[in-house]
Amino acid sequence: MNEVTERTLATERLATHLWEAGTGEPLLAIHGNLSNGAVWREQLALLPAGVRGLAPDLRGFGASERAPVDATRGVRDYVDDLVALLDALELEAAHLAGHSMGAAVALQLALDHPGRVRSIVLVAPVSPFGFGGTRADGSPCVPDHAGSGGGTANPELVRRIAEGDRGDESPLSPRNVVRGLFFPTPADVRDEELLLEGMLETAVGDDFYPGDVAGSDHWPAVAPGTRGVLNAVSPRWLDLGAFAEHGPRVPVLWVRGDRDAIVADGSAVDLGHLGATGVVPGWPGADAFPAQPMVAQTRALLERFGAAGGTWREEVLDGTGHFPFTQRPDAFAALLHEHLRVGARA
């Protein structure tokens, strides 16, 4: 196994903390929301010879600089930070692996800087049309994108993250979110403390997680603001549909768990689904505000990518939740290593 080290590197944009291991072809591993680069340490240690793994903390996460997020740019603040990191490391291009929100960052980087991408791995990716409030074709359920953005976060969870709560007495404690949402069952939980620490190291506030909130005349009465993490992945500001026709023709691997509760066609944290199941009152019905078909939206994007000449494949890990590389590290590593071999030949 590779030795994994960490350091903080000053770039032209901010101080970026990263984990790294190995030498050779660079792999940039991008974490998701309420997480940090440390979640990739096990996979960095498992990388084959000839691959250099890099897992940075995005701005506002982990030990990287607490720089604010301009949500009106979608996820481009993160993209520009990562390009600055590649520049600081004197790396022309890299393979990308993005988890959840990090998958959106990977696709946006590929769109904005196609020459800097050798291949892409999408792991439990957020929909290419953002999180919350869209129909199957990516169009908004209501004009102001209500049902997405900073107001969709549970304020009790936000409070407990800000307070550094490590307990398990509340169903909305960060620890119980790890246990109940990140994995299918308590028996499947791995690296609980690592995942908990990643969540608790998240910067909280209007400029960070979850972001600011706008009111709405439409159900559920909250619309996306202009700052912070959840607004950056709101469909008001994030639309990656252009990747299908205009993204680089590099190999794409999509890996997901069949029991993912967060990114699903009936996500446990999507307000459309929560309204339909009666958890959030006042739901206007499936015609007005359907649950977002997140998995179907990603598949439709990649099918268009394939029709336009791209190469992609989908791998579904049985009995696996939102963190496939944590829950089933060996199975995920086998898929990743094979993909990197394909990407190196492309």
Which domains are present in the chain? 5-139+237-345 (3.40.50.1820)
The residue written with tokens 């050779």 in the block is 24
pLDDT surpasses 70 at 284? yes
Region 329-335: mean pLDDT is 98
Gap between the Cα atoms of 222 and 216, Å rounded? 5
pTM above 0.85, yes or no: yes
At 346 the pLDDT is: 65
At 146 the pLDDT is: 97
Region 84-109: mean pLDDT is 98
At 342 the pLDDT is: 83
Region 277-303: mean pLDDT is 97
At 125 the pLDDT is: 98
Region 77-103: mean pLDDT is 98
Q: pLDDT averaged over the chain?
A: 97
Percentage of the chain with pLDDT > 70? 99
pLDDT surpasses 80 at 343? no
